[in-house]
Amino acid sequence: MKKRYTDEQIIGFLKQAAAGTPVKDLCRKHGFSDASFYIWRQKFGGMDVPDARRLRALEAENAKLKKLLAEAILDKEALKVVVRGKS
């Protein structure tokens, strides 16, 4: 079964590793793979908890804006089809 970790927990794991805890021991203790650790380090390396929260908020806002842009483009294309049909 897959475990889900919060951004705060992941940053805590990364800080433990930075403090000197061996990665293998950390992975075994908390039940995640080495690959997961290195992916998290690539994404969250050097961040604090407030930074991760801000990143999550920005990603959500970006997704919302992408959806709005896609809908606007779709509406524009639909209007073009309607205008061509009336000619």
The pTM is what? 0.65
Is the pLDDT reported for residue 65 higher than 60? yes
pLDDT of residue 87: 59
Residue 46: per-residue pLDDT:
86
On whether the CB atoms of residues 14 and 48 are closer than 8 A, the answer is no
Q: From CA 38, how far away is CA 77, in angstroms rounded?
A: 43
Task: Decide if pLDDT at 66 tops 70.
Answer: yes
* Selected residue with higher pLDDT from 3 and 29: 29
Q: Is the pLDDT assigned to residue 47 strictly greater than 70? A: yes
Is residue 31 pLDDT above 80, yes or no?
Answer: yes
- Sequential DSSP letters for 9-71: HHHHHHHHHHTT--HHHHHHHHT--HHHHHHHHHHHTT--HHHHHHHHHHHHHHHHHHHHHHH
